[in-house]
């Protein structure tokens, strides 16, 4: 992800594009290697937000379980996760799209 951002950021500054939204997937609390990468993503988001402000806003959406085709055939298992999630519900792709749109269109969101 970082090499991509390194390539894109100079062009964003030239074109006055002002927002980056990083998406990350469910946090597997019991898989240490995934927890480490998720922590690295959050740290990178924080550092980019600080270093690119005020020209480019940087945010991260950390979704838990999202009802997508990846759950095809095991929907019951997906819905069983809901009780263990902070919001006690499975997100929809529309939920994530709305969050992205909100972060991209609200200049006060940093």
pLDDT in tens, 74-105: 889 888 888 888 888 899 999 999 999 999 98
**Of residues 69 and 2, more confidently modeled:** 69
65 in any annotated domain = yes
* Residue 58: CATH number of its domain: 3.40.50.720
Number of domains forming the structure of the chain: 1
110 in any annotated domain = no
Nearest to 19 by CA among 103, 108, 98, 97: 103
User: Percentage of the chain with pLDDT > 70?
Assistant: 90
38 in any annotated domain = yes
Query: What pLDDT score was predicted for residue 102?
Result: 93
Domain extent at residue 35: 2-105
User: Percentage of the chain with pLDDT > 90?
Assistant: 30
């Amino acid at each position: 992800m970082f090499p991509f951002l390194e390539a894109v950021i100079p062009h964003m500054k030239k074109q006055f594009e002002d927002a980056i939204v990083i998406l990350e997937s469910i946090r597997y609390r019991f898989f240490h290697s995934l927890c480490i990468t998720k922590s690295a993503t959050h740290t990178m988001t924080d550092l980019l937000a600080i270093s690119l402000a005020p020209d480019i806003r940087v945010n991260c959406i950390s979704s838990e379980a999202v009802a997508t085709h990846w759950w095809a055939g095991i929907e019951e298992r997906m819905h069983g996760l809901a009780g263990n999630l902070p919001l006690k519900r499975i997100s929809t792709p529309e939920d994530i799209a709305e969050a992205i749109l909100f972060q991209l269109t609200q200049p006060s969101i940093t």
